[in-house]
Amino acid sequence: MKNISEIQRIEGQIVRLSSFNNFDGNAVVDYLYKQDYVQSFAMRTESERDAVLSIRDLKDDREILSTLYIKIDPTASFEEINYIYSDLENVFDADEVDITDESPRAEGVVIRVWWD
């Protein structure tokens, strides 16, 4: 990533603290920071149930987040997009990796990654 903003650093720290099961937040954040074609990323919950569990676990310095959204630079080539897509699916053992339906609204490709 180029030009990491303060809010992105904070988001990265939240992702690092959100490790669980097969999701290694530290490894994923380190990887994303090294990719020039990644513009930003954010991790969120998928359901109301997850949001309630996340609130419960904040006192233990954890947050239950299961879905990572990665905004790719609009100038990235198909090969660059495919590279990160494959890494997230294979290297980071994600349960689902896809391009979101919201990509046109984000002015670029947004990859959604989900861990169970």
Please state the pTM of the whole predicted model.
0.82
Residues in the chain with pLDDT < 70?
Answer: 45-47, 102-106
pLDDT of residue 75: 86
The pLDDT value given to residue 105: 67
Whether the CB-CB separation of 72 and 110 falls below 8 Å is answered with yes
24 close to 92: Cβ distance less than 8 angstroms = yes
80 falls within a domain: yes
Which pLDDT score is estimated for 48? 74
In the DSSP assignment, the letter for residue 107 is T
Check residue 26 and give its pLDDT.
Answer: 92
Q: Is residue 1 part of a domain?
A: no
- 3-state SS class at 79: helix
Domain of residue 76, residue span = 6-114
Q: How far is C-alpha 69 from the chain's CA centre?
A: 4
Encode burial over 3-28: b for 16+ CB neighbours within 10 A, e otherwise.
Answer: eeeeebeebbeebbebbeeebbbeeb
Structural domains counted in the chain: 1
Asked if residue 13 belongs to a domain, the reply is yes
pLDDT of residue 87: 85
